[in-house]
Structure 1
Amino acid sequence: MRNIGKDDHPKLWSLIFVLIIALTFCCFAMGQGLNSGTSVFLAGQGYGASLAGVLALVFSIAAALARLFIGPVIDNGKCSLVIIAGIAILTAGTALSAVVQGIPLFTISRLLQGVGFGVATTAAATAAASVLPQERLGEGIGYHGLGQAIAMSIGPAFALYLVGTDPSTNLYVGLALVGFAGLVIALNARYESKWQTLPSSSAYRIKMETRLELDSKDGQAPSPTTVTTSETNHSEKYPEGDQVSKRTLRDSFNIFEPRALPGAIPQMIICPTFGFGVFFAGLYGTTLGYTHAGLFYTISAVSMIIIRMISKHFMDTVPAIKTMTGAVACGILCCLMLLAAPYGEPVFLASGIFYGLVTGISMPLNQSVAVKNTPPERWGAANALYLLANDLGIGFASVIWGVINDSFGFQTSIVCVIVCLIASYASAWIVYPARDKRWRH
C-alpha cells in the first residue's frame, strides 16, 4: 500500500494544468484589456474618466454577482462546462461592443462581459486548485496566477495598441478573437473525464477515488475504466474523505465561504492599487505626453514572469506575512516612482517593474491563503469569495479614481493608492491565520 505522503515533491506540471493556465491567460487578457482599452476608447469619443470608472464598476459588479452564485454550481457540477459557458458569454459581450452604439447598449455589453469574466475565471481558479498536488498547492497557484498576472499586463498593452488603430473598434474585434482562442482551449481542458491522470494527491482525484471506495463498500462494482484505491491510502492524510462525498445539502448551496476571508480581505483592500494600474496607468502616461506609455504593461509583465518563476522558493516555505511585506514595499516604491513620472518617461516605465512585483506576489499569495484555509470540497465557493473581493476592490476604486483624476489629478490618486497598500498590510497582520503570520518555521 502506497502512502501519498511518501513523495515529498510530486509532479506539478500536466497537460491539463498547462491548458488551464492558457485559458486563464485568455480570460484575463480580455478582461483587463477591456478595462484599460475602454477608458481610452471613451476618451477618444469625447467622454471623461468618470464614465470609464462607472462602466468599470458595472463590469465589476456583474462579475462579482456572477462569482457569488457560480461558486456552489462549480462545487456541485462539472467545472469545465462552467468555464466553457463563461468564456462564451465573455466573447459574445466583447463582440457586441464592436457593433453597438450609445451608452445604454454599451452598458449592456459591459454587463455581459462582467458576467462571463466572473464565471470563467472563478471556475478556472477552482479547476487549477483541483488538479494540483496538495503538497505543492501554493507553488502551483503561483504558476496558475502567472497566466493571470501576465495577462493583466499584456492585455492592457495589446488593448492600447488596438484602440490606437483605425477604426478604434478593432479593440473589441481583437479581444473577441482572443476569447475564441480561449474557448477552443477550454474545450480541450475538460479534466473530469481524465481524473486518473491527475497527481495522486490532487483534490479531484481524491474525491473520485473516495467515491469509488464508498460505492464499493455499498456493494456497487467500480467501473473497469477507473483506478482502484487499494494502492493509495488517503485515510491517514485525508481523514475527511467520507465527509467530502457526503456533504450536506446546506453546504452544497452555501454561496458564502467565511474561511476564505483571511485571504479575501487583504486582497480587497490592496486591489485599488491594481485598479489604478489597469484602468489609469496607461492613460496617465498618455496624459504626460509619453508615446510609449503601453510599455509600462509590457515591463510589468516581464517582472511578473520573473517573480512567478522563482515563487517556488518562497510561496510554500516563507510565512505569508513576510511575503506580503515584500509585496507592499514594492507597491509603495512603484507609487513613489509614478509620482516622479512627470520628470521623465524612463521613470514612468521603470515603475512598471515594481507594479509587476506587487501584483505578481500579492495576488497568488492571498489566493493561496484563502484556499489553504478552506477544505477542498468548498474551493469553488472559496475562490468565488476571493475573486469577488478582487472585483469589488477594483470596481469601486475605479469609480473613485476616475472622479479624483478628473477633479484633483492623477497624483492625488497615487497618494491614495499608497494608503490602500498600507491598510492592506495592516489587515493581513490581523486576519491571516496564525500559521501564516509566523516569521520562522
Structure 2
Amino acid sequence: MEKEKLWTKDFISITAINFFLMLTFYLLMVTISVFAAEQFGANESNAGLASSIFVIGALFGRVFGGKLINTIGRKKILLLGIFIMILSSIIYFIPGNLSLLMANRVLHGFGFGVAGTATGTIVAQVIPNSRKGEGIGYFALSMTLATAIGPFIGIYILDHFQFNAIFVFCIICIAVSLVLSILIKVQEIQLTEEQLNEMKGFKLSNFIERKSVPITLVATVTAFCYSGVLSFLTFYAKENHVTEAAGFFFVVYAAAVLITRPFTGRQFDLKGPNFVMYPAIIGLLFALFILSQSDTGLVLLIAGAFLGFGYATYMSSSQAVAISSAPAHRVGLATSTFFILTDIGLGVGPFIQGLFVPFVGYSGLYMILGVCAILCLPLHHFLYGKNAPKGNE
C-alpha cells in the first residue's frame, strides 16, 4: 500500500512557522537578561526574571488559545498570536524601564503561547493519521533545531552588534512566519450545536483535555528532569572545567536528534508508541547518570547525545500521543494541555532543584534526576503503556 504524503506544502509551511517562532524564543531567552542588566541595571535575580517571566505569559496564551481555537478559528488564532509577537518585538525598541520590559515579556509570551497552540493544532490536521508519529517528530525537530541555533545566533549578535540588532532579527523571523501563515491553507473544524454548548462556561474541561493528561503527566516529569540540564549545565561545566565542551553540548544534542528522528518517527507509526518510548526513557536516564559523572569533555558530549535521543524522542512521541488521544474538535485543547503541563515542569524544575544543589552539588542533582527518570518507566506503563496501540505494521 502506498504511503500517504507527509511533506506537503502546508506541512512544510507550518513546520517552518514553528521554527522561526521558536528561534526568536530561544534567542531572547539567552540574551534578554543581559539586556536588562546593561540597559536598566537589573540585578541577577531581576535579570533572570526578565528572561523567565516570558513563560507566565505563554501559559496564559496557551489557555486562551486552547479554549478559543475552534470557536475563533485556527488560522485566526495563529495570526492573532503572530501579530501580538510583532507588536511586542516593536515595543522592545521603546525607551522605558525594567517594569516596561517585564510587562512586554509577558505580552510576548502570551502571543507566543497563542501562536504555539495554533501551530501544534494545525500540524495535527495536515499530517496523515498513518504517519502521525513521524510527522509530529519532524515538526518537533523544528523546535530542537531552534534550541541549538537560537542561543548561538543570539550570543553571536550580542558579541558583534548592538542590542537593537537582536530585536530586528526577531521581527524579521516573525514577519516570515506571518507571510507563511497568510499563505497556508487551514481546514477549520465545524462544531455541532452540542459541541458549542460543551465549550461554553469556565469548566475545567474547557481548558484541559482529560484524555491527553495521562501521557502528558509523564512528559511533565521528563521536562522537569531536562530543566536541570538547561538551568545548571553551565555552572556544572565550570565546576568540572569542561566549559569548552559545554559550548557544543546542544549542538551534539541536536545532531543526535537529526540522526535518530527519521528512524524513531517511522517506528512509532509501524510498531507502536511503546517501541520507541521505553527506549527513549532509558536514553534519558542514561544521559542524566552519565552527566553526573562528566569530569571530561568527551563524557559530557556523550551525555548530550543520549539526551538528544532520549528526551527529544520522548517529548515528540508523547505530543503525538496526546494529540491522537483527543477528539478532532478538541485537538487544540489537547495541544494546549500538553504544553501547559510540560511548561510547568520546565518552569518549576530549576526552582525546586536549586534548593537541593547546596546540599548534594550538581553531580548529586543529576543523580537524583536520573532516579526520577527511572520512575518514568513504571509511570509510563501504568498511565499509558499497558494500553498503548500496537502500530500500523
1:36 to 1:340, Cα distance in 2 relative to 1, 3 A:
farther
The alignment's C-alpha RMSD in Å is 3.1
Query: Which residue pairs with 2:196 in the alignment?
Result: 249
Structure 2 contact 28–51 (Cα < 8 Å) conserved: no
1:310-321 superposed matches below 5 A:
310-321=263-274
Structure 2 contact 281–311 (Cα < 8 Å) conserved: no
Structure 1 contact 263–368 (Cα < 8 Å) conserved: no
Query: Which residue pairs with 1:35 in the alignment?
Result: 29
Structure 1 window deviating more from structure 2 (391-400 vs 97-106): it is 97-106
* Aligned pair partner of 1:60 in 47, 50, 55: 55
Structure 1 contact 60–394 (Cα < 8 Å) conserved: no
Tell me if 1:361 matches 2:313. yes
Q: Return the offset for 1:27.
A: 1.6
1:277 to 1:171, Cα distance in 2 relative to 1, 3 A:
farther
1:275 to 1:316, Cα distance in 2 relative to 1, 3 A:
same
1:344 to 1:292, Cα distance in 2 relative to 1, 3 A:
closer
| Larger Rg belongs to | 1
Tell me if 1:12 matches 2:27. no
Q: Return the offset for 1:169.
A: 6.0
* Aligned pair partner of 1:337 in 290, 296, 306: 290
* Aligned pair partner of 1:417 in 366, 369, 375: 369
1:26-425 superposed matches below 5 A:
26-38=20-32, 47-48=43-44, 51=46, 54-55=49-50, 57-97=52-92, 102-167=97-162, 170-189=165-184, 191-192=185-186, 195=187, 245-253=192-200, 254-282=206-234, 284-285=236-237, 288=241, 290-291=243-244, 293-341=246-294, 343-401=295-353, 409-425=361-377
Q: Return the offset for 1:148.
A: 1.9
Letter of the aligned partner of 2:362 in structure 1? F
Structure 1 window deviating more from structure 2 (137-146 vs 413-422): it is 413-422
Q: 1:284-315: CA deviations, max 9, x gaps?
A: 44664624633222221121122222234311
1:364 to 1:11, Cα distance in 2 relative to 1, 3 A:
same
Gap regions ≥5 residues in structure 1: 1-6, 196-203, 212-243
Q: 1:377-399: CA deviations, max 9, x gaps?
A: 11011111011112111111133
- Tell me which protein shows more helix as a share of its residues: 2
| CA distance in 1 between partners of 2:32 and 2:368 (Å) | 23
Q: Return the offset for 1:130.
A: 1.0
1:403 to 1:93, Cα distance in 2 relative to 1, 3 A:
farther
TM-score (norm 2): 0.85
Q: Return the offset for 1:318.
A: 3.0
Q: 1:230-281: CA deviations, max 9, x gaps?
A: xxxxxxxxxxxxxx64543233342221011122111111112332344443
Structure 1 contact 331–355 (Cα < 8 Å) conserved: yes
Q: 1:311-346: CA deviations, max 9, x gaps?
A: 3431113343342221122222222333233x3333
Letter of the aligned partner of 1:250 in structure 2? N
Letter of the aligned partner of 1:66 in structure 2? G
1:180 to 1:375, Cα distance in 2 relative to 1, 3 A:
same
Q: Kindly, what percent of the aligned residue pairs are identical?
A: 25
Name the count of aligned residue pairs.
385
TM-score (norm 1): 0.77
1:409 to 1:72, Cα distance in 2 relative to 1, 3 A:
same
1:433 to 1:285, Cα distance in 2 relative to 1, 3 A:
closer
Structure 2 contact 226–311 (Cα < 8 Å) conserved: yes
